[in-house]
Structure 1
């Protein structure tokens, strides 16, 4: 089995990555940064997001394992003091995995009609700089509403516990193939109305946002921020590729939610 270690630059993560590297070699694993079978992320959820985007070009060929060295994360299954147990799990690995949907984002710019494609694990947002964003929202190419507010967030089920939750979105189990759109500070009065609630769409449906102003917007896909540009439309759908996690421990989603947000003791 070929593995690689993707760690953040904190002192603790660096030490854990060094220990992991030494013990993996001693156990007979091959370290291959270019074509790994398993990507070992050492850090937190942000580190795993970075690892995902680093290997997104081959996401259907690798599995991910998260090692937690900081605050509790939804993508990290192992603690920094469980390196020996992790290596035992890798030695006993039979190739099983659990897969989650990814967000496909196709964006067309108004200045030259050039289209870009992005893949996101958590979410994508669109915001207006300095003034209210006005945009028509389409679901399956049918007009759903004209949105006015700070912006919109479209997330995957795995991303539902991230920025989506902070703007009032629902928490969705990551085994469901669905997309969620949550409003960011929408304007609702007797003149302007939006649904005012998160929208969860079926796996075959698309969400399209068409801004009404031909001005600059801030677009994000996970940790990626783009330079403000005039946008013609953004189309969101479930990607035809999925992220895979090695199924050594990747379960107990609702336990993680309770531990992270309600304060239940981690068992």
Structure 2
């Protein structure tokens, strides 16, 4: 009897051994191509440099924010946004992504059970994902890091995964923005502004064109040597001047944003344009 009494007096009272804790890893972030809502964001494992199994899927809130539970997964992850409605920063109109349109982002690694927060899914991260996917070996960690860095350096917004883009159409958004945030938002605004004047089904088509341009590592208006249509679906010459689209959208004040956006965001042309335009116009186009 005494052994039983001793055992009971020192027992925790638990009848069965404890079960192992379930890893609760998650990715917390925001999708942005102008204020974005009603989007579905999906997380995919990366296996041998290619898109693998879907890890999670969730809806964004009215500001594009999302939380993706990914459990114990560890390794590279690609995020993909589909079905979104967003406010086009050039026109102020609500637009919807087409059935085949996606906005993507790829991270070099996440730790098992960890919370990865403050990430952004944007046109620039989509360009970097397209570049990483096209590199030898595909979306392996070293390529993902190189592609994200190269696109960020090219547009003078070094950390495209974690830097919050200035919203060009949000009143006063420049007041607390860093230069990287201003540059980031200005480039997204410039894409929207350039697309505004083109004849195409959706403004997002220009983002798709930029992804195709970035994939081969050279922003020259070509995809592996073949000219990319200037989004309006036609070429003006035998080569369409190849880089014409790139130079058109980088020049004539597109990166400066039009006057209404400057007034709303509080950013002056000098804030967002001078160094960025100079760098882009003098660039060879190589992502590095």
Shared fold per TM-score greater than 0.5: no
TM-score (norm 1): 0.29
Give the TM-score, by structure 2 length: 0.28
Q: When you count strand as a share of all residues, which structure comes out higher?
A: 1
Q: Which structure has the higher relative contact order (CA within 8 Å, separation 6+)?
A: 1
Say which one has the larger Rg: 2
